[in-house]
Amino acid sequence: MLAAESACNDGVSFPFLYAGLVIYTKSTPMSSLREWILITVLYQCVVGILVGLLLGLTSNRILRAVSARNFIGLPSFVVFYLLMAMLSIGVGSTLGSDDFLVAFGAGIGFAHDGWFSAKAGKNQESFAQIIDLIMNSTIFVYFGSDIPWSGFFFNAVIPNLGIGQLVLFLFLVLLFRRIPAVLALKNFIPDIRTYREALFCGHFGPMGVGAIFLAIEARAQLETGTSIPLPKPKHEVPPFSEEYKAIMLIWPVICFVVLGSTMIHGLSVAVISVVGHFQRHKGERAPLLGGETEGLHGFDHGEGEDSEPDASGSDIDH
């Protein structure tokens, strides 16, 4: 559920980003509204989802056909969904639609019936974890090497932006971004059984790759009018234009939020593990401090229906 929410959040944020961008780049409200509805919402988002669904459904049928005829081995079978993800991103970029939504739609179309998960079994889970670790590590190495530390303490273009304001903003984002909504909707989400689970789901909404991508997209649109930003922000002298102020505001704020989210959500796992360690009786504790493998011990999921889809199709190997 958290993974699906993250994918939806990254995709749905696209039209909200462009709602502000078209106001900056268009001269009249009507032209801004027209471009936002026709280009951003209908073409980039709606068409992106439909294209992704078509890619996913087509890939599912093709893979079923070649698998039934034993034309594909297990290693190629397991890696297929990664190749489909790359194809989705390439198609989305070529068409100028929302890459996130194209990939998300392709994933839904590809795995909607559970056939691929049942066919690949544990091999898919192991491979997915490896790829996830490699890609996450790569993007955070890139992010860590590009953090604008000086912009956190002094910004000549935005003099009121300092470390105190950034810390307060981060605190308010973490507190109000998800937790109140998840607590309020607890009774409408079958998978969330207790308020403890609602608080857990509300807290674990880390901001990372999606936020960085949107920040780069915003900078690029304001700097060049394309999806490719300048290597370094252009230099202006006072009085600064509103576009230049927006450019010099976006990157340090987003980077600080992603940095804070990475530290807080990353350390939260260790805190939960250590607290769980001391909550257990001495004879039930793991050998190492914080080495508990049941970090969600006590969550109410002993009964109830499984939310995973049943695999369908007659060509599943048993």
- Between 128 and 32, residue with greater pLDDT: 32
- Residue 225 pLDDT level (bands cut at 50, 70, 90): confident
What's residue 47's pLDDT? 92
What's residue 312's pLDDT? 46
- Between 287 and 198, residue with greater pLDDT: 198
What's residue 297's pLDDT? 52
Minimum mean pLDDT range among 37-41, 154-158, 291-295, 308-312: 308-312
Residue 108, C-beta contacts closer than 8 angstroms, at least 6 positions apart = 52, 53, 56
Please work out, in degrees rounded to the nearest 5, the angle formed at the alpha carbon of residue 70 by the alpha carbons of 64 and 75.
Answer: 85
- Between 288 and 315, residue with greater pLDDT: 288
pLDDT at 236 over 60: yes
Answer for the pair 94, 46: CB distance below 8 angstroms, yes or no. no
Residue 178, C-beta contacts closer than 8 angstroms, at least 6 positions apart = 201, 202, 203, 205
pLDDT at 229 over 50: yes
Mean pLDDT to the nearest integer, 46-58: 93
- Between 280 and 312, residue with greater pLDDT: 280
| Sign of the dihedral through C-alpha 289, 295, 300, 301 | negative
Give the Cα separation of 105 and 48 in Å (integer): 8
What's residue 171's pLDDT? 94
What's residue 298's pLDDT? 52
Neighbours of 45 (CB within 10 A): 21
Secondary structure (3-state) at 6: helix
Instruction: Looking at mean pLDDT, say which of 109-113, 172-176, 230-234, 270-274 comes out highest.
Output: 172-176
Please provide the average confidence, as pLDDT, over all residues in the chain: 80
Neighbours of 151 (CB within 10 A): 20
What's residue 166's pLDDT? 92
Minimum mean pLDDT range among 100-109, 143-152, 228-237: 228-237
pLDDT at 316 over 50: no
Mean pLDDT to the nearest integer, 32-45: 88
Give the Cα separation of 82 and 232 in Å (integer): 32
What's residue 290's pLDDT? 57
pLDDT at 82 over 70: yes
pLDDT at 315 over 60: no
pLDDT at 96 over 90: no
What's residue 40's pLDDT? 87
pLDDT at 270 over 90: no
Per-residue model confidence as pLDDT tens digits over 242-251 = 788 888 888 8
What's residue 167's pLDDT? 93
- Residue 53 pLDDT level (bands cut at 50, 70, 90): very high
Domain ranges of the chain: 1-123, 146-301
Give the Cα separation of 276 and 295 in Å (integer): 7
User: b/e for 154-165, b at 16 or more Cβ within 10 A?
Assistant: ebebbeebeeee
Q: Would the pTM count as exceeding 0.85?
A: no
